[in-house]
């Protein structure tokens, strides 16, 4: 297709923080944005030219979006693939419904990895209790996960044996699941990349990630460990994008177990572990999303400094005292005094436990100093290891 140039209007399905960053990037590049999201307090909708407050299967709203936008993308992998398919009849949609549908279902995702010779942990689909009773014993201890709509540690349970797996399956009300072998984890890494309509790929530096309660806590760039492992992760991510026929920004999460890489999951959108690209890279993951959507050449993905990104969850707004839990604003002054720290709020309506509210990124020419400053700042505002 010919390039879509400013001041064209772009469409965004989903209105969370990833969508908000997309809107900001598009605005800086001269575009207007319409956001479709059912949340009346959508962070992206608040700064877009228009917020269509509607469900993702509201066809009247989809028709309006298609008529008003030159191209449409998503920031949320659980937008129904049928919605993307429908919109694609009228307007450019990137990534495609076919690519997104693979990432929406853990069974489809692991099957895709197996069929394309990409490294992954052992797994078995679970549609009924007998699938657990007949599962290979080598899958235990394992993790039982719902096949769809699980995120940030939700919809999954560690299961040491068949009895625990059966109990978890019943707790998930018999929803289709996947049983994955639990790997001995060294650490986790991720690669965010952008791929354009010509198959050109730009990979951002591989990040090392740590989690708390299943939610991303800290991302360190570049990932510690060998350059060979970082390069291998990028190569696998590129292969995934190619095999998916992917156009847009894609996040790929990996486990490192006994020094070997295993693909954990793919996110057909910008990724939380790629927040650092806003402050550390020549082109951010969100600008790349705009460029790929509009048929523009991809930007340079190089990092100009080391970076440490720290997630700020809604838990920080709740202080525990002898008389109970009290709501209070965190002491942002402790972050404001750090000159190479960049704080980003997401504009969410209210804080709650486990909700991603903001993040900060420390950038520095010295890797070790960046890590030290970020961890000190993290502790100063009250984020505690548990």
Q: Mean pLDDT for each 10-residue chunk of the chain (386 residues)?
A: 95 97 98 97 98 97 98 93 96 97 95 97 96 95 90 81 95 95 96 98 98 93 95 98 98 96 96 98 98 98 98 94 87 97 96 95 98 98 86
CATH code of residue 288: 3.30.470.20
Identify the pLDDT of residue 151.
Answer: 63
Same domain, 151 and 48: no
pTM of the model: 0.95
Domain contains 87: yes
Tokens 């598009």 sit on residue: 26
Report the half-sphere exposure of 370 (CA within 13 A, side-chain side).
23
Residue 188 among known ligand-binding residues: yes
Same domain, 339 and 368: yes
Same domain, 238 and 311: yes
- On the question of a cis peptide bond just before residue 141, with omega within 30 degrees of 0, the verdict is yes
Same domain, 134 and 240: no
365: tokens are 């020419």
Same domain, 220 and 345: yes
Last residue of a domain, one of 181, 200, 216: 181
> CA 379: distance to chain centroid?
25
Same domain, 212 and 344: yes
Residue 182 among known ligand-binding residues: yes
Identify the pLDDT of residue 248.
Answer: 98
Domain contains 310: yes
Identify the pLDDT of residue 150.
Answer: 65
| Number of compact structural domains in the chain | 3
- Three-state SS for the chain is CCCCCCCCEEEEECCCHHHHHHHHHHHHCCCEEEEECCCCCCHHHHHCCEEECCCCCCHHHHHHHHHHCCEEEECCCCCCHHHHHHHHCCCEECCCHHHHHHHHEHHHHHHHHHHCCCCCCCEEEECCHHHHHCCCHHHCCEEEEECECCCCCCCEEEECCHHHHHHHHHHCCCCCEEEEECCCCCEEEEEEEEECCCCCEEECCCEEEEEECCEEEEEEECCCCCHHHHHHHHHHHHHHHHHHCCCEEEEEEEEEECCEEEEEEEECCCCHHHCCHHHHECCCHHHHHHHHHHCCCCCCCCECCEEEEEEEEHHHHEEEECCEEEECCCCCHHHHCCCCEEEEECCCCCCCCCCEEEEEEEEECCHHHHHHHHHHHHHHCCCCCC
Backbone angles phi, psi at 76, to 5 degrees: -145, 115
- 160 is in which domain, residue-wise? 122-181
Domain contains 288: yes
Domain contains 221: yes
Q: CA Rg, the chain, in Å?
A: 21
Residue 183 among known ligand-binding residues: yes
Same domain, 172 and 220: no
Residue 269 among known ligand-binding residues: no
- On the question of a cis peptide bond just before residue 95, with omega within 30 degrees of 0, the verdict is yes
Last residue of a domain, one of 111, 146, 181: 181
Give 93's contacts (C-beta < 8 A, 6+ positions apart): 71, 72, 73, 84, 87
Residue 211 among known ligand-binding residues: yes
Identify the pLDDT of residue 324.
Answer: 81
Identify the pLDDT of residue 322.
Answer: 77
Domain contains 102: no
Domain contains 386: no
Residue 285 among known ligand-binding residues: no
Identify the pLDDT of residue 361.
Answer: 98
Same domain, 57 and 168: no
Same domain, 245 and 338: yes
Say how far apart CA 71 and CA 84 lie, in whole Å. Answer: 11
Domain contains 311: yes
Residue 179 among known ligand-binding residues: no
CATH code of residue 78: 3.40.50.20
Same domain, 237 and 312: yes
Domain contains 98: no
Residue 181 among known ligand-binding residues: yes
Last residue of a domain, one of 72, 93, 114: 93
Residue 274 among known ligand-binding residues: no
Backbone angles phi, psi at 11, to 5 degrees: -110, 140
| Residue 234: closest CA among 198, 207, 267, 268 | 207
Residue 154 among known ligand-binding residues: yes
Say how far apart CA 230 and CA 243 lie, in whole Å. Answer: 20
Residue 94 among known ligand-binding residues: no
Residue 84 among known ligand-binding residues: no
Residue 104 among known ligand-binding residues: no
Same domain, 134 and 246: no
Residue 202 among known ligand-binding residues: no
Say how far apart CA 72 and CA 69 lie, in whole Å. Answer: 7
Same domain, 330 and 238: yes
CATH code of residue 166: 3.30.1490.20
- Alpha-carbon dihedral of residues 30, 36, 37, 41, nearest 10 degrees? 50
Residue 214 among known ligand-binding residues: no
């Amino acid at each position: 297709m010919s390039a879509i140039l400013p001041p064209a209007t772009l469409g965004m399905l989903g209105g969370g923080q990833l969508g908000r960053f997309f809107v900001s990037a598009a605005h800086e590049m001269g575009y207007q944005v319409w956001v479709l999201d059912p949340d009346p307090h959508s962070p992206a909708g608040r700064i877009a030219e228009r917020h269509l407050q509607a469900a993702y299967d509201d066809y009247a709203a989809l028709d309006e979006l298609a008529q008003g936008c030159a191209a449409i993308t998503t920031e949320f992998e659980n937008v129904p693939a049928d919605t993307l398919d429908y919109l694609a009849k009228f307007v450019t949609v990137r990534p495609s419904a076919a690519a997104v549908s693979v990432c929406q279902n853990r069974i489809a995702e692991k099957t895709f990895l197996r069929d394309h010779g990409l490294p992954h942990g052992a797994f078995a689909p679970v549609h009924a209790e007998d699938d657990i009773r007949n599962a290979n014993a080598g899958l235990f201890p394992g993790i039982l996960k719902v096949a769809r709509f699980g995120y940030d540690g939700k919809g999954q349970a560690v299961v040491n044996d068949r009895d625990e797996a059966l109990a978890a399956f019943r707790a998930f009300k018999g929803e289709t699941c996947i049983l994955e072998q639990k790997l001995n984890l060294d650490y986790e890494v991720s690669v965010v990349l952008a791929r354009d309509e010509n198959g050109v790929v730009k990979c951002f530096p591989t990040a090392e990630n740590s989690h708390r309660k299943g939610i991303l806590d800290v991302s360190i760039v570049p990932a510690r460990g060998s350059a060979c492992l970082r390069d291998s992760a990028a190569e696998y991510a590129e292969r995934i994008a190619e095999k998916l026929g992917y156009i847009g920004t894609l996040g790929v999460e990996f486990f490192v177990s006994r020094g070997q890489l295993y693909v954990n999951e793919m996110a057909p959108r910008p990724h939380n572990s790629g927040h650092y690209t806003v402050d550390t890279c020549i082109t951010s993951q969100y600008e790349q999303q705009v460029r790929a959507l509009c048929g523009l050449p991809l930007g340079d993905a190089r990092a100009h400094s080391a970076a440490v990104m720290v997630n700020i969850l809604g838990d920080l707004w709740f202080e525990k005292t002898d008389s109970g839990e009290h709501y209070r604003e965190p002491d942002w002054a402790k972050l404001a005094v750090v000159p190479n720290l960049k704080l980003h709020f997401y504009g969410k309506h209210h804080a709650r436990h486990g909700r991603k509210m903001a993040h900060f990124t420390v950038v520095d020419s010295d890797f070790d100093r960046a890590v030290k400053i970020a961890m000190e700042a993290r502790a100063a505002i009250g984020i505690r290891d548990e």
